[in-house]
Structure 1
Amino acid sequence: MEILGSTFDDSVFSEARDRVCESLSSYNAKVCEPEWFCESSALNTDDSLEKQKVYKFRGDLALRQGNYQRALEAYSSCLQWIADNNLSIRRDVLEGMARCCTKLGQRQKALDLVALLSKDASNTCHLTGLLLLKVSIYQHFGAAGSQMSCLQQLCSLLPFNPWHWFSLGQMCLQLLDSKKATGVEPVGGEEDQQEETAELGEDWLWLKASACFIRTRLLLRILQQQQSSFVLQRAESVLQKTEEALQQLNPKESTLQVLTRVMSEDLIPEKMREDYQDGESLTSVCLQSFRERWWNKILLTGVLQTDPVQRP
């Protein structure tokens, strides 16, 4: 009686055929001199891909060296040679152009380039990069209202990322410390501008900073269990800064408890998985504003009435 799987095919025991080893043609790797793309001869080609590479490398080098006008010109030339289906390089070049325009003081042109990038934003990574770019532009031009709006969108897009919460908390604290709570006008074209301007008052800034630093502390303590090496060191450093900021803000113990409860309601292991974030983030940013998700809940607790702003 044969046992299932116990029989063998005869070919298993047959001798292996002699294999013919064919000689391979020699391969000569292309050797490039440092900054070869800066030579005028680098453009002596009819290959559009080669021209794209040359202009792209020139733009990257000029941007790194701080020559923003030269970088902008190189990126603009590169854009003409990018294939229609090469969206990744196109996004990279447009972002480089936007950063150059920002450094050159060309705010509207930088925002126009951001608008072009936003048309191709189709996933979480694209939108994250776009919002970070907008934050840097608004920060450069001192548009606090729009910068805060972008940071809040980042926190809505990636609600379990402690670094965005920390950045938002730091911004609120800096505005509170520098007494710039009034008279700050956001850049035109952003949603909820009047609402955001009203929330630049000192009471709101104090409350937002407190809530953001509490959220940062909660997230960092959770993530520390999975971290090591320099990642853990960075987390510990930011956690220390967070504790110092909360000491400076000096909320009452009852306020700390209320804010901790509100800001930790969604910190459920199943929801904090990366795949869950990618599945829900784009929808949540479009349909649920930052105010609705967190501030309205905080307002309902009556924290501002029970704990007036403690001036540092």
Structure 2
Amino acid sequence: MEIFGSTFDDSVFLEEKSRVSVTLSSYNAKLCEPEWFCDSAALDTDDSLERQKVYKFRADLAVRQGNYQKALDAYSSCLEWIADNNLTIRRDVLEGMARCCTRLGQKDRALELAEILSKEASNTCHLTSLLLLKVTIYQHFGVVGSTMLCLQQLCNLLPFNPWHWYNLGQTCLQLLESKTTTGSCPPQRCESTEEQDDGETEEQQEAAEPDEDRIWLKACTCFIRTRLLLRILRQQQSSFVLQRSENALQTTDEVLQRLNPKDTTLQAITEVMSEDLIPEKMREDSQDGESLTSLCLQSFRERWWNKILLTGALDTDGSQHRPQTDTKS
């Protein structure tokens, strides 16, 4: 009886075929002058790929120079020459156009381009880029409610990324400061009319008509989660990356001191927000590049917020939940 794995394939004992050496023909590398693509002669070609490169390089340079209208025009021309199967460059160009429209104050056009990207998104990397783009657009136009919803979706998608939690906390502070200063939320800052990807109408309503105590609690929650994640990740960091984390930790501690949660509230939130912070689970939950067709995510409310409310961290008397000092970070 043969033991499984004890036999050898006959090919192991065959003589190695003699290799035939191939002499490569001489190769002359193409030399390009700096900003060669800016020359009008660069477009004197029928090669669609070359034209695409020229317009793309021109657009990227214009963005660096701060000439967003010129960049938008170049991106638009580039789009006409992109092959149908070149989805990576197409997404890059569409995102560049959306960012240029944002800088030029063209909010509707920027959101239209974001919607095109949304329909073409096929994996979590695409969705992450899309949400970051939407955050940029909404932040630029002061739409705090929609900014919060996009950041919450980023926290759902990448729950172990401390910077999304940090940015969500900062957005809550911005909204809390606005309500504290004016006594109400300015309509243009709380606008949340855009349809969100996960259809969470209850969260949309909460973002559009935020309650001050809930904003305060969500800010505390985000900064506590940020602190927990940064403390774990800094053990693997060094150099400027570690310095950035240390600076963020210091800022987070200072903000929590100003928000001034009670010890019982702080403990309750910490327990809920640290439940999934297990090294093995953090590795298993990595969804980078996963197809959206198989992706199943709980909403921010289901995964964290309802649990926070059930702890009693927010009682009916909200007076104790006011920060003792200004919430500016």
With the length of structure 1 as denominator, give the TM-score of the two structures: 0.89
- Which residue number in structure 1 is paired with residue 4 of structure 2? none
2:220 is equivalent to residue 185 of structure 1:
no
Matched to 1:190, the amino acid is: E
> CA offset at residue 236 of structure 1?
1.0
- Which residue number in structure 2 is paired with residue 197 of structure 1? 208
Whole-angstrom distance in 2 between the partners of 1:299 and 1:283: 31
2:268 is equivalent to residue 258 of structure 1:
yes
> CA offset at residue 295 of structure 1?
1.1
Cα distance 1:150–1:11, how it changes in 2: closer, same or farther (>3 A)? closer
Cα distance 1:22–1:188, how it changes in 2: closer, same or farther (>3 A)? closer
Whole-angstrom distance in 1 between the partners of 2:291 and 2:215: 25
- Which residue number in structure 2 is paired with residue 289 of structure 1? 299
Q: Deviations over 1:45-86 (max 9, x none)?
A: 010000000010011111111111111110001001000000
Is the Cα contact below 8 Å between 1:220 and 1:235 reproduced in 2? yes
Cα distance 1:282–1:247, how it changes in 2: closer, same or farther (>3 A)? farther
**For this pair of structures, how many residues does the alignment match?**
302
Is the Cα contact below 8 Å between 2:59 and 2:74 reproduced in 1? yes
Is the Cα contact below 8 Å between 1:75 and 1:93 reproduced in 2? yes
> CA offset at residue 171 of structure 1?
1.2
Whole-angstrom distance in 2 between the partners of 1:36 and 1:278: 37
- Which residue number in structure 2 is paired with residue 140 of structure 1? 140
Q: Deviations over 1:221-261 (max 9, x none)?
A: 11122222221111111111111111110111111100101
Whole-angstrom distance in 1 between the partners of 2:20 and 2:207: 75
2:303 is equivalent to residue 303 of structure 1:
no
- Which residue number in structure 2 is paired with residue 38 of structure 1? 38
> CA offset at residue 280 of structure 1?
7.9
Task: Give percent identity, aligned residues only.
Answer: 71
**Highest relative contact order (Cα 8 Å, sep 6+), 1 or 2?**
2
Cα distance 1:153–1:11, how it changes in 2: closer, same or farther (>3 A)? closer
Cα distance 1:90–1:10, how it changes in 2: closer, same or farther (>3 A)? closer
> CA offset at residue 195 of structure 1?
2.5
Whole-angstrom distance in 1 between the partners of 2:170 and 2:265: 19
Q: Deviations over 1:80-118 (max 9, x none)?
A: 100000000000000000001001111110000001101
- 215, 223, 238: which one pairs with 2:248? 238
Cα distance 1:40–1:176, how it changes in 2: closer, same or farther (>3 A)? same
Is the Cα contact below 8 Å between 1:146 and 1:190 reproduced in 2? no
Cα distance 1:9–1:80, how it changes in 2: closer, same or farther (>3 A)? closer
Moved more, 41-50 or 25-34: 25-34
2:117 is equivalent to residue 117 of structure 1:
yes
1:66-215 superposed matches below 5 A:
66-179=66-179, 182-183=185-186, 184-191=189-196, 192=201, 193-198=204-209, 200-215=210-225
Cα distance 1:41–1:266, how it changes in 2: closer, same or farther (>3 A)? same
Q: What SS is found at the alignment partner of 2:301?
A: helix
Whole-angstrom distance in 2 between the partners of 1:283 and 1:20: 48
Q: What SS is found at the alignment partner of 2:136?
A: helix
Is the Cα contact below 8 Å between 2:37 and 2:54 reproduced in 1? yes
Matched to 2:104, the amino acid is: L
For structure 2, the 5+ residue unaligned runs are 1-6
> CA offset at residue 266 of structure 1?
1.4
Whole-angstrom distance in 2 between the partners of 1:244 and 1:281: 39
Matched to 2:194, the amino acid is: G
Whole-angstrom distance in 2 between the partners of 1:288 and 1:91: 27
Is the Cα contact below 8 Å between 1:157 and 1:282 reproduced in 2? no
Cα distance 1:242–1:46, how it changes in 2: closer, same or farther (>3 A)? same
Whole-angstrom distance in 2 between the partners of 1:162 and 1:205: 19
Whole-angstrom distance in 2 between the partners of 1:168 and 1:142: 14
For structure 1, the 5+ residue unaligned runs are none
